[in-house]
Amino acid sequence: MLRAARGADVPFLAEVLCMAGRGHLSRGPWDLALPDAAERTRLLVALAGGPNASWCHRSAFRVADVDGVAGSALVAFEPSDQGDASLARPLGAALESIGWSPEKIGTLAPIFGAYSTCFPDMPEGAWILENVGTRPELRRRGLVARLLDDALERGRARGLATAQIACLIGNEAAQRAYERAGFRVVEERKDPAFEALLGAPGFSRMEAVL
């Protein structure tokens, strides 16, 4: 069953955010920013379940259930749904909510600066898919394919012409899944600082016609 995310899903959505950031790598930006797993979970729970809308908030997620358990999730949105696509304000508020000072928040600039160099722009009028993740024990059951098809249909229903998704370069399994749904690589963004930080050259921007 596919459905909108609920408040009870927030701990799972925090896991999805972490999985999506890692992609095929052993660590992602959330791991680098908050090496302590418990603190990282608190932040992602605050980001997904707090009062501030964003493309990391539960209000943007759809969930695929398996036997009543949330097994996979992704977000789909048009950037103006949240006012803009920037995470700066909701992320800052979430960090403050777990006790970070403005000075400590400022120490994350090198990590998220390198990340944003390669992360694709999110133009208004595009249907953006992001934050795709599945519980490891429920992978290879077609959950992501169902969520992708559902997301694309919702974009069509809104009258949008193009869908977009970002994929870490080298994440061949994810790229194949997106290609099966109709996406094609239209741009690559690479940067040595990004590769030194994360271990992947950068991001592919993939598009599908709705």
**84-113 confidence digits (pLDDT tens):** 778 999 999 999 999 999 999 999 999 988
Residues of the chain predicted below pLDDT 70: none
Domain residues for the domain of 174 are: 2-209
Cα separation, 59 vs 71, in Å, equals 17
Contacts of 175 (CB under 8 A, 6+ apart): 167, 185, 204, 206
Give the global pTM.
0.95
**C-alpha to C-alpha distance for 155 and 210, rounded to whole angstroms:** 7
The confidence score (pLDDT) of residue 158 equals 95
CATH code of the domain containing 64:
3.40.630.30
* 47-51 CB contacts, 8 Å cutoff, 24+ apart: 47/14, 47/17, 47/90, 47/91, 47/94, 48/10, 48/13, 48/14, 48/17, 49/7, 49/10, 49/13, 49/14, 50/90, 50/93, 50/94, 50/97, 51/93
In this predicted structure, what is the pLDDT of residue 160?
97
Asked if 28 contacts 22 with a C-beta cutoff of 8 angstroms, the reply is yes
The residue type of 142 is G
Where do runs of H (alpha helix) occur along 76-182? 88-97, 102-106, 109-118, 143-157, 172-180
Token representation of residue 135? 């519980």
Closest to 74 in 3D by CA, of 1, 30, 128: 128
pLDDT of residue 36: 97
Residue 61 has what pLDDT? 98
pLDDT digits (tens, 9 = 90+) for 47-79: 999 999 999 999 999 999 999 999 999 999 999
For residues 43-70, one letter each, b for 16 or more C-beta atoms within 10 angstroms of the residue's C-beta and e for the rest, the string is bbbbbbbbebbbbbbbebbbbbeeeeeb
Do 13 and 59 form a contact (C-beta atoms < 8 A)?
no
Q: Work out how many domains the chain is built from and give that number.
A: 1
